[in-house]
Amino acid sequence: MARSFAGQVAIVTGASSGIGWELAKQLAAEGCKVGLIARREAPLRELASLIASAGGIALALVTDVGQREQVESAFANVREQLGPVDLVIANAGVGRPTLCDPVNMTDVEDTFRINLLGMIYTLSAALPEMLSRGSGHLVGISSLAGYRGLPCESAYCASKAAVNVYLDGLRMHLRKTGVRVTTICPGFVKSPMTETNKFYMPQLMEADYAAKRILRAIKAGKKVYNFPWLLHLLIKLSRWLPDRAMIWAMGDYEAEAKQAVVDRQKPNPT
C-alpha cells in the first residue's frame, strides 16, 4: 500500500528549478516539511515563499552538494529546525557536453563531482540517523542516459551509470536495516538543463508530470523506476544497434555541444 508523506521531513537537492522544484512543491502540498537545497539563493527563497503562502513549511539552504562540509551543515540545520529527516531525494545534477578537442576537463570533473559525489554526500549525510532509528528512505534521481553512452555526453552518461550501480549496492547493503533505497531514471524533462538541447528529445515531459510519477514510485517503495517505458525500451534496444545509428540520431550535436561550451565560458554582460 502506498504510504502518505504527511508529517514527514524531506530534503530535496537541486530544488531551485525543474524536477527538484516540483518535487519539493508537491511534497509540501502533501504535508511534508521540506528542506530545499541548491546553489542559487533567489529561486530557493522564491520556492520557500511559495510553499509558505500555500500553508506549507519549507527551509531554504544555499548549498553546493559537491562540497561535503556544506551538505552536512545543511542537514544539521534541517534537523535542528524541522526535525529528524525521513526522506532524502538527491536530485541535484548538471548536464554538460563532453568535448575531445580540446578536452573540457573542468566540465567533466564538475559533472562527476555534482552528479555522483554530490549524491553520495547527500545520502550519506542522512544515513546515520536513519540507521539509528531503523527507518528512512533514500532516493537518487538518475537518468535513462545511465543505460547508454552517447556521443559528446560521455561524462554525463557515465556519471549516471555510476549513480545506478552505487544505489544498487547501497540498496542491497541496507536490505535488513529498515532504510529503503530507490533509484529513479527519468527520460527527457523540460528544465533549464534541457532547454538548450537542439536535438530531438522523444517523449519530453513537463517537470510537474515527472514529479508526480516520481513521488508515486517513492510511495510504492519501488527499487528502480524507469520512465517513460517506451523510451526506456528504445534505449535498451539501442545497445544492440551499431554505433553509426546513435551517431546519426544525435545529428550535429557535436557542433552544438562545442558552441554551448563556448557560450557558457563567455563573461556575463554587466
CA distance 257 to 153: 9
Strands 87-90 and 57-62, bridge-based pairing: unpaired
For 142-229, where are the E strands, in sequence order? 179-186, 224-227
Radius of gyration of the chain (CA): 18
| 267 alpha carbon, distance to own chain's centre | 28
Burial (CB < 10 A; 0-12, 13-18, 19+), residue 233, is exposed
To which residue does cell 532524502 refer?
Answer: 88
Backbone angles phi, psi at 246, to 5 degrees: -70, -35
To which residue does cell 528544465 refer?
Answer: 191
Active site residue 156: yes
CA distance 167 to 137: 12
H or E stretch covering 191: none
CA 172 to each of CA 90, 178, 179, 205, 214: distance values in angstroms, whole numbers, following the listed order = 18, 12, 10, 31, 21
Which residue among 121, 147, 156, 225 is the active-site one?
156
What is the set of active-site residues?
156
